[in-house]
């Protein structure tokens, strides 16, 4: 009987241990460790969500709120989460920024890479936002302007731009 109780206690301790470990992995980053895209302590991305607006060639705005909600003139387009995931309005996973800087789609295929400074490589294209927020390196006929007060917005803006301007079909 004592042996059975001991085994049950060990099992309970193991379960509690797993819950504690899982809890550590999903902790929100503290402000001191948060940034706009480097890997956190557990090898995960911790994004600080910053309000910004991207203006396309026709002057139409795409905005991201301080909680990561992406809104186009048409309505909600999805959400960026602190762990680097990007979801559609129905909550479905659409992509993720990995600690390595890779942006992958829901199937895990790499779409692009984004550096800490917000510069990106999408196929053969190398892109970055210049000091005025103008996107440099893409199709010059398709102007794109970033409006943000915090330069840290560049990396998240690039992530949103990539998810919004690539199509699921093979290019």
Told to check if 159 binds other proteins by CB under 8 A, we report no
Nearest to 34 by CA among 24, 49, 21: 49
Mask 105-144, x = binds other proteins (CB under 8 A)?
x-----x----------x--x-x-------x--xx-xx-x
CA-CA-CA-CA torsion sign (65, 100, 90, 76): positive
Site membership for other proteins, residue 100 (CB under 8 A): no
DSSP run (H or E) holding 3 = helix 2-25
Tokens 């330069």, residue located: 151
Show contacts with other proteins in window 26-85 (CB under 8 A).
54, 56-58, 60-62, 70, 72-74, 77-78
Cβ distance 119 to 108 under 8 Å?
A: no
Residue 50 or 159 having the CB closest to other proteins? 159
Q: Which residues pair with 120 in a beta bridge?
A: 114, 127
Question: Which spans of this chain sit near other proteins (rule: CB under 8 A)?
Answer: 54, 56-58, 60-62, 70, 72-74, 77-78, 86, 88, 92, 94-95, 105, 111, 122, 125, 127, 135, 138-139, 141-142, 144, 161-169, 171
């Amino acid at each position: 009987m004592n042996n059975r109780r001991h085994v049950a206690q060990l099992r309970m301790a193991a379960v509690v241990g797993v819950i504690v470990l899982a809890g550590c992995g999903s902790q929100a980053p503290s402000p001191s460790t948060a940034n706009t895209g480097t890997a956190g302590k557990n090898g995960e991305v911790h994004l600080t969500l910053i309000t910004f607006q991207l203006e396309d060639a026709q002057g139409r705005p795409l905005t991201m709120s301080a909680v990561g909600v992406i809104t186009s003139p048409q309505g909600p387009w999805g959400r960026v989460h602190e762990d680097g995931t990007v979801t559609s309005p129905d909550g479905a996973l659409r992509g993720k920024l990995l600690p390595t800087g890779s942006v992958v789609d829901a199937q895990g295929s790499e779409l692009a890479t984004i550096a800490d400074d917000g510069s990106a490589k999408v196929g053969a294209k190398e892109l970055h936002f210049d000091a005025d927020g103008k996107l440099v390196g893409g199709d010059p006929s398709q102007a794109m302007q970033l409006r943000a007060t915090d330069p840290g917005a560049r990396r998240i803006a690039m992530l949103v731009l990539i998810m919004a301007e690539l199509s699921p079909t093979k290019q």
